Structure 1
Amino acid sequence: MEVDTPARRPVYAARNALNAGQLKDGIVRRSLARGDDEPVRDWLCNHFYRHLVGNFEPVRQLLTLDDARTVLGAEPLPAWLLQRFDETGQGDDQGAAPLVWIDPGQPRVLALEARLVEFLSSRQGTALQGKLERINCPQALQLWEQEHARIQLRLGQGWRQSQPAALRPAVSCASHTLFELRPDSALLRAEMAFESYVMRHCLGQFANHQRLSGGYGQHYAEGVEHGRLRVFSLRDAQGQPHITISLIVRKDGALTVDQVKGKQNRPPVARYYQDLLQCLDALGTDDHSPDDCIAIGIVRTPSGWRLLEAVSDAADQTRLVARYPQLFRRLQAPKPMVQWLVAARQPELVAQGQGQGQVGAVSYATRHLSAQGAIDGHYSTEGIAWVGMSHELAAQIKAGQGRDS
C-alpha cells in the first residue's frame, strides 16, 4: 500500500541533526517492537538513519542559538553547539553543515519507515537478501517505486475469483459488509490476490503468481498468518471491494489502524465514509488516527471515529488538537480551550485562523504574529479587525484629524 514520498537525493547530504540520537533511538525502539530481523534493523539504523539526518524533509532549520534553545526546551546546550554560534547567538562558522531538528514522531517519518520495512521484508528469500548494506536509502526507495510500477503493469494479467471460504463477515452496514480475510484459511493468499486485482494495490501481489509466495504479498500474508496484522475488505452486495483496511495487532492485543485504502491506493470515495466510520467503531481500535484517515477528515476521538466536521465536543477537540495540532485549522468551530492550547504550542496556527470565530483574548495574545493592516478587507489594530473602518479614516485617527470638533 502506497504512502507519500518525501523529497530525496541520490546520496546522503552533509547535514547535522541536533536530535540525531533521539532519531536513532526511535528507529531501534520501533524495530524491536515490530520484531524486525536483525539485518533489517541494522539497515534501518544505518541507511534510514543517515537518510533522515541528511536528506529528509520537512525539517526545522536552526539558524540561531535561540532556535536551538526552542527545540531543546529544558535540555542543556551541548558545548559543541555553543561553539557553533558567536556572542550574539548567530551562526559563527559559515562553512559548517546546516543544523536542523527533525520531529522524530511526525507522520512522514513513520510512513517512510513503513515503506522501507515493507521493501526490506520483501527481500527475504531473494538474492538481494544478503546484499542489503550495498543499497542506500534513496536506491531502496527507487527500487520500491519501480517494483510498484511493474505491479501496475502486471495487474491486467490473469484473474482470480473471490474465495468466500477465506472471508468472515465482521460488520454489516446499510449497503456494504465488512469482511475479514481469515488468517486460518488455506485460501487466504488467493483472496489477498483477488483483493489486490480489484483494488489495484500491492496487498496480494506475490512474486510467484502460481505459488502465491514472495514479494509484497508474502510480507502482508505472513503478517496476517502470524497474527501481527488483520486485513478487512468493505464490499458491496455484489462482493466487489471498495475499501481495504489493515490493522496492526499489538502485543497486548490492542488494534491500531494501519492503512485505509481506496482503489489504486487513493483515498476512499466520500460516499463510503459513513459505512467506514461504522466499521472502524465496531472494530474497537485504539486512539491512533493514521495519515490515510486524517487526509480524508476522519479521526479517532474518545467518543469514537468521527468526521472532523462533527467533532464539536470541547474535550474531544482538545485531545484531538493536542495530538494532531495541524488539524486545528480544519475544525469548523474550535472551542476557546482549543484556541488557547494551540496559542500556547503553535501560535502561528491561531494567527493564520483569525476571523474563524476566534476568541478576542486569543487574538490579542497572538497579536504580534499578525501584520498590522487589513484583515479580510477591514482595518485592524493588534490583530483585531475594525469592521467598516477604511484605511483613510484610520490614517486620520492616527494623525489626530478624526476627533470630534
Structure 2
Amino acid sequence: MNATPAAARDVINADKVRAAIARRSRGRQDHADIARWLQTHFFRWTINSFEHVLPVRSVEGWRTCVGEPSPPAWFLSKLAAAGAPMIYIDPEHHLLREREARMVEFFHARLGSRLAGKFHRITFADAEAAWSKDHERMQRRSRRGWWPSQAHALTEVVATPHGRFVELRASGRTLRGELAYESFHMQHCLGQFAQRDRLEGGYGEHYALGCEQGRIRLFSLRDPNNGPHVTVSLIEDLGEWSLDQVKGKQNTIPDAKYAGDVLCLLNSVRPRDIGSLDLSRLGIVAQNEGFEVAYVAFADLRDAARRHALLGAFPHLLGQHPQPDPFAQWLALAGGAAVVGEVAAPHGPVVAALHAMNADEASMPDRERLSATLMEVFPQWLAPPLAQETSAPQGGWLRRLLMGGGASAVNQSAPHRQWALAVPELLFYRLGVDGDSRRGRLAAPPGTGDRLRAQIESELDIHDGRADAAIRAFCETFFRVPYLAHPMLVTPQQETHEAPSKQAPQPDAARDLLAWHAMRQSHLLRLLVAWNLLDETRGWALLLLNAQRVRDCFRDWSDFGSAAARGHATWLHWNGREAHRAKATQVALQDFQDEYDCAWKRLPWSAFDLTQAIAAQPIYATA
C-alpha cells in the first residue's frame, strides 16, 4: 500500500529561503555539485518538511514575520480565501543551518568517491540516513579517541612526494581535536587525552598547551585523503626551533619511503638538530652550511666518518648505502645487522653466513649451528668430526686448508694460517710474549700468565658451570663491535668548551673501533683455545674470517695497527679507563713495527685472501 504524499506547504518567504541557502553556499565556496544539490533537494525538503515554522494567519502576523508594513496583494487574496494555512520559515534558523551543515559535510566527504558526479540522484532522506550511520560510526570511534579532522586547523607547509606536510596551527578544542585525529591514526601518544570526551588531561594536554604557549610545533605528513603517515615535532630551545621527534605509526621509525618527504619538510623549516636519534634511524643527516643547517639523505652523505658512525650504530642503513663495499658490510655486521640484502660478491656470501651465525637457535648446539649456517653458503665449508684417519684429506675447505692434501697444499695454506695468527701479534708483543705465528698453531704460546686469564674470564663471564654458555655467547657475537651506538659516536659533534680529554678523541671512531675489536677478538680467541675453553674447529673458522675482515677493511698492516691503537684509546676513553694505557699501546705499536723480525714485515698484506684460498683447495668428497 502506497503512503499518501504530504501536501505541499504554502511558505510565504520561499524565495528568501532559497536565496539564503545560495548565499551560504557561495560563502563556503561549495563544490558546484554540492551547491546544486542544496538548491534543489535541500531546498525542497526545507519547504516541505522543516518542522520549526510559524503559522501566518493575519496581516499583523505578516508584519511580525516578514518585517514589512504592507503585505502584497497575493497574500491578502489568500488570506481572504481562508484556504490552506500559510507558514513562515526563518532562513537563518540555527536548526536549519545545522541540518544544512550536516549535508555539506556528508557530500564533501564523498567528492572523491564513486558517488562524485551523481549527487543529484540522492534524495534528502537517503543522505540523512547515510549521515546518521556515519555519525554513529564516528561516535563509536570517538569513544576510542577519534575526532574528525578540520581543515581550518591545518596550514600547509610544503608539498612532498607522498602528499603534503601540514602544521597544526589551531587552538582550543579545534587543536585538541586535530591532535586526537593524528593520534588515533598514528597510534601514538600525541593526542591521547585522559578525558576523551572533553579532550583534557593526559599526554594530549601536554602537547596542546605546548603548542598554544609557543613551545612546540607539530607537523603531519598527510596523503591526498588527509591520512597521517609521519608526525614531526619541534621544540623551542634557547630561542631557536630544534628537532625533537620524527615518528611513524606506533612511535616507530617512519617507513623508509617517507624519508624524502621528511627531507622536504626539514629543508623548508630548517630546525636545528640537537642529536635526534629518530632522524639518524631514518637515514637523514644534518650538515652545517654557513649559519644554516641543511639535511641530506644517508646515500648522499659525503663525510665518510659520519657515514661510518651512522652505519655502525644503525646497521639497517646498509640498505641505503650507495656502494655497499666489503667494509660497509663488515661494519653493518659489527653493528648487529639482521639482514644483508644484496651485497657485492665475493664478500657478500661471507657476510651473509656470519649474519646467519648470529641467529638465536638455542635448540642447536653451537658447533652444529656454525657448521650448518656456513655450509649453506659455501659447500664443503667445515669438516665433519674426524672418524678415522685416511690417506686422502676428507671434509670441507677448512680442514683441507689447515691439514692440506700433500706438500703443495701445506705450502699454499701455511701463509694464510700465519697471516691470520699475526693479526693480534701486537697485543702479544705488549705482554712481552712472542705470538709465534710461524708455528701455524692456533693456541696462544705459553707465558701469558694467570692474572690475564682471571681478567679475561671475568670479562667474558666465564665461571663454574657457565663456561659453555659464555663461550657460545663469545662465538655468536664475535663480529659485534661494542660502543658503536655510543652517543659520542652517533651524535654530531657540537661546539664545546670542554677540555680536550672530554671530547671525542678522533674523527673516524667507527673504523678505529672495528680495528681494535678485530685485533682483540683474535687475541682472546687464541687464549681461549690455549686454555681449552674453545675447540680448534670453531676457533680456526672465526680466526680466518676475522683475518678476512681485517684484510677487507684496511689498506695495510700499518693502517690496521694505527687504527687499532686509536680504537683502543677510544675504547678506554668511553669505558672510563686510564689514558696512559692507550699511550702504552701507541708506543708498543711503534716499537713492534721497528722490530727487525716483525711478523707484519714478514707477511705481505696482499698474501691473504680467504676466498682465493677456498677456491684453490681441491674438492674431495665428504666423509
More strand by share: 1
Q: Which band: TM-score by shorter chain?
A: 0.3 to 0.5
Instruction: Give the structure-1-normalised TM-score.
Output: 0.47
| Bigger Rg, which one | 2
